[in-house]
Amino acid sequence: MVLCEEFLGRSHISFEKRFREQLTDASSSVPRNVAEGFGRFRPKEDAQYVRIAKGSANEVLDLFIEAHTKGHLGDAEFPRFETAANRAIGTLVGYLRYLENCADRRGRTRSKPQTSKPRNRKPRNPETPWP
């Protein structure tokens, strides 16, 4: 987001109002969605918000590519913006994998209510070896 603000501070970008609005909306959407998902306290719900944040981060990357194509980002500085966006996307993907793993694990460890009668077991004699 800091790089977006740095980029938007350039005077020649101020003339492209729609582009500025798209980049501002996409870049601010990423942390807002991560924060909202984190506040849900359930991995499955949180993951949905992280997916939305990842889409916004991909949009930011696409807008950086567009800016490079239009000549607003030079060849020397573009890799810095591209790398920052890709690192943000990679971080979100890692967090998403973690959340999906939590959701899977939670579903597997939950015990289902017993539908049949419990077996009557005889108490084990402590002197008897295990079979």
Type of residue found at 97: R
Inter-residue long-range contacts of 77-80, CB under 8 Å, 24+ positions, other chains counted: 80/3
Q: What is the pLDDT of residues 70-128, one digit of tens each?
A: 888 899 999 999 999 999 999 999 999 999 998 666 555 444 545 555 566 666 666 66
Please tell me what DSSP assigns to residue 73: S
The number of domains in the chain is: 1
Instruction: Evaluate whether residue 99 is within a structural domain.
Output: yes
Q: What 3-state class would DSSP assign to 81?
A: helix
pTM summary value = 0.74
User: For the chain, how far is it from start to end, CA to CA, in angstroms?
Assistant: 63
* Calpha distance 128→28 (Å, rounded): 67
Instruction: Evaluate whether residue 127 is within a structural domain.
Output: no
Q: What is the pLDDT of residues 39-81, one digit of tens each?
A: 988 899 999 999 999 999 999 999 999 999 988 889 999 999 9
Domain that holds residue 64: 2-109
Q: What is the CATH number of the domain that holds 103?
A: 1.20.1440.60
Other Cβ atoms less than 10 A from the Cβ of 88: the count is: 22
User: Virtual CA dihedral for 25, 31, 32, 36, nearest 10 degrees?
Assistant: 150
